[in-house]
Structure 1
């Protein structure tokens, strides 16, 4: 969902969520409704192995082409395959609510019907054909899933009002999470708006067994009917109990190998999900770009993140997405002259990389979120080649693979807090990265065994001595060694 709804890692009541969940469960759900999912129900392990060297590509169907349709986007699949995109995360494809719609076209995340397609994008058959062609090219498709709210004109509002949160249930949440009274806002029949500033959506009650079952069946539809390969879960931990995801995984993983990506930043999500958002790293890189934090702060973040999540979690490392682009600014607006350095960082230093529609063409505008705003694919700065090269480096170097399949990030002592220097090694493959993450020239000295002598930068082909190195502003170097 979008940044105005508050990034999970920064939410003021995030730390109290579990305690409130227990209270709300007692108020709103029957204990017998929670099934025993078993110790291994959550993970489709085979897909985690497959995804070890993959890049995720977020698809904004509305803005990707002038037509804004599945069929028009389908023409881009061969190009994306050549780029090195492996997993296509497609933003919600369902019909958008008309009641209290925002802008002329509405928010993707205000869903009117979970089991049909937005007619502006095309038919269900069109979507199936898109998935089929992606599969034929060796790519996978995961669908953006919005589990905790619907549009006000979703049929459930009339047919199953018990699926929704009531003001009395929200009072339990608000009291125990310290949420201000105006955070929730009632509208008709005592049902709730998700947040007071998002009046186009109504909050579902996933503590109710019937709501959870209906949601799981809707998810099942897209696997059995369209053969999708998994889900990106919108706001995956915000007022959504973890046992919902356990039940969903237990029901859906047996159907096929699925990939699960959580838009949330808590270790507990990895009881079910393969990948999660490293929101903290994204926003820290933005602060470094503005001179408000240093490269050493990035090392400290990665150290703490590994301690909290372990090596098995795939942590999404990105410099833009639909939230950041539309609400915070373009890559150049947020990273300035350091944009390319942070792009290389996101593919090499830590985690699983992600690209957003248009990023590979140097997207230079904030895409409107509720209206048509087509991406330009002219790519005058040749970013397609740049990101293609990064995808190739990721795939060809085992040290850069995700989770336990890649090398653990190791800080190289360079004697300069403005320079990020790392080494990752796995299976006889070593990658060394050196990034001047400042607007000033920097000097470093690295004198460690195995790093003496001349090393060749993979981008420029130039040779460098690490024991006495001068770096231009925002300069980055990447060295590959193989045994």
Structure 2
């Protein structure tokens, strides 16, 4: 955790927006008009995915990846312009929302204006051709951070967006960019404004494969020297092993313990069940009850909570990154939306009052979570595998479920519930 990380980030909610596919028009105006609804979900930060002009050479799909950027200093005309972007920022600030934007400094599009202007700033192979570290990202060329003039230019880009009013940066594949660059950028830019710095860290297999190929890649523990938050990809890997039936939940819970003990004290993870790179949780799991349990589970884990636009309505289709593919808001589940709002409200209250977290498996698929603070204590029981029946427990409880107000009594035997239970013990 960076030494100056604001404490409120440990229980914040981040809402991810891909403007192109947020609505039929796919402009900043769509986001502008929806800010009050987003705020009402319990959101603190709106993260806007890249809105810059996209390259044409090697383009994927009809519209191209938003992460294949032609010009870091401009806004694509399909979204709007800087004047309207400033209007969006000002409205967000007026209702106490912060705006975080995507920064993609590992690579540019293959026809970036920088290639013609500064070809020396790009990574080249042994034949002198422009290249990339990850072959699958075949619509981009990587920048070469051995050139310090590149550093100064990129820092000036950050400065420009801060002067326009943005509150933070989500730094794409931050692990692949030298930590000294991020350190220098933060030291300079933070003189102007307190900002949120989120690093897209890497899953463990990807990180290891890049290091084996000789590349300098930062792990999460190293990134916390600069960044306020990192991705939960080191945990997400174990989560998907569980979804694929390869590992039990105990492997995932152990990874949470390792994060707590092996990362810097008070490190803030950004927890997510889905994002623009990974399937919707409603696509992966069958049954609303199971999704409700997992939503509660992830919201109660230590750290910030990410919501990918549409997740709050249990949508199961992941919008395309490369084509026009608007979210079908009319297909959403509005009963789930009401539940979702309750979960977010409760989790934020709990994490703001408590610092000590623990988790254990009472029986296969049945998880107990505890949060403790100086004057507060909460307990949640979650059914993550949609089980039924009765299990023995080593505690007694007589309390009101905060979700339903039902009085629940547990003594030696717990009759498994389909929906989550959450109690305030003191």
The TM-score with structure 1 as length reference comes to: 0.79
Using the TM superposition, give the Cα deviation of residue 388 of structure 1 relative to its aligned residue in structure 2, in angstroms: 1.4
CA distance in 2, matches of 1:304, 1:395: 23
For residues 379-417 of structure 1, the C-alpha deviation after alignment (integer angstroms, 9 at most, x for no partner) is: 3343322221122112322xx24xxx7422223573x24
Partner of 2:263: 309
**Does 2:57 align with 1:99?**
yes
Off by >4 Å, runs of 4+ in structure 1: none
Deviations 1:69-115 (A, max 9, x none): 00121000010111111111110111111112111111100111101
Matched residues in 1 for 2:76 and 2:109: separation?
13
1:11-410 matches, within 5 Å, as 43=2, 45=4, 48-168=6-126, 190-224=129-163, 226-238=164-176, 240-265=177-202, 266-324=220-278, 329-337=279-287, 338-378=290-330, 379-397=332-350, 400-401=351-352, 406-410=354-358
Out of 456, 461, 482, the position equivalent to 2:405 is 461
Alignment root-mean-square deviation, CA: 2.0
Distance 2:167 2:250 in 1: 38
With over 3 angstroms needed to count, the CA separation of the structure-2 counterparts of 1:113 and 1:195, relative to structure 1, is same
Q: 1:217: Cα distance to partner?
A: 0.9
Q: Distance in 1 between matches of 2:222 and 2:386?
A: 38
Q: Is the 8 A contact 2:17 2:47 kept in 1?
A: yes
Maintained 8 Å contact 1:44/1:257: no
Aligned partner of 2:391 among 444, 447, 454: 444
Q: Does the 8 A contact of 2:378 with 2:424 survive in 1?
A: yes
- Corresponding position of 1:23: none
Assess, with a 3 A threshold, how the Cα gap between structure 1 residues 356 and 323 changes in structure 2: closer, same or farther.
same
Q: Is the 8 A contact 1:193 1:200 kept in 2?
A: no
- Give the drift of 1:442: 4.9
Answer whether contact 2:102 2:169 (CA < 8 A) is retained. yes
- Partner of 1:382: helix, strand, or coil? helix
Q: Which position in structure 2 is the counterpart of 1:20? A: none
CA distance in 1, matches of 2:397, 2:3: 45
Q: 1:290 Cα deviation (Å)? A: 4.5
Deviation at 1:43, TM superposition (A): 4.3
Q: TM-score, with normalisation over the residues of structure 2?
A: 0.90
Which digits, 9 at most, give the CA deviation of each residue in 1:191-243, with x for residues without a partner? 1134322221000012321111111111111001x2101100101112x1111
Q: Secondary structure at the match of 2:59?
A: coil
With 345-354 and 456-465 compared, the bigger mean Cα shift is at 456-465
Partner-residue secondary structure (3-state), 1:391: helix
- Within-5 A mapping of 1:405-420: 406-411=354-359, 414=362, 416-420=363-367
Give the Cα separation in 2 of the matches to 1:411 and 1:230.
Answer: 31
Is this contact kept in 2: 1:289–1:437, CA < 8 A? no
Contact persistence 2:273–2:280 (CA under 8 A): no
Which structure shows the higher helix fraction?
1
